[in-house]
Structure 1
Amino acid sequence: MPALQIRDLPQGLYDELKLRAEREHRSLAQQATVAIEQHLRLVPSVEQSTRPLTEEEECQARVAKRKAIFARIDAMPKVEIPEDFPTPEKIIRELRDSR
């Protein structure tokens, strides 16, 4: 099986890949393979880009894109909201009243 070495990988990308690998119970190499596969499904190759996508392919691409976005959101650190934090309605009302 072929091997791939990536040099000068930004630390942030490495950390995110490692975090996702841990969350998905995969090795770093397995997670990198999954990420490459997902990207190749989202971005059509040169041969594929000459023909329009079918409705099903467009739908699959949109779903894959949303899943990637949600995965990035899930990887973000969680924020603890204090008990006395104002509600969105109160914040909006204060902003409107301050005009």
Structure 2
Amino acid sequence: MPYFENCIGAIDETHIGARVPPELQVAYIGRYGTPTQNIMAVCDFNMCFTFVLAGWEGSTHDSRIFQRALMKPSYHFLFPPTGKILITKLEKFKKEY
């Protein structure tokens, strides 16, 4: 497919249920109304994860996690080689921090 010839993978976030102490639950309650963790992951076209960033509170916006992954060297985000891209959703770029 010519639309994806330079694409090396996809990036997205997902929420998983979290068990947190009652005093921390407010920060972990996201769009589903229950405590969750927001996890960002990148996978290649072999369905293998190439990057995972877990542990964010469920109330954290996807764009904040994406921005931090790009800006914080200790996360070791794997930037695509020159001329290659990762596909994602536009929602990551709708909110600025």
Q: Normalising by structure 2, what TM-score? A: 0.25
Question: Per residue, is there more strand in 1 or in 2?
Answer: 2
Which has the bigger relative contact order, CA under 8 A and spacing at least 6?
Answer: 2
Bigger Rg over Cα: 1
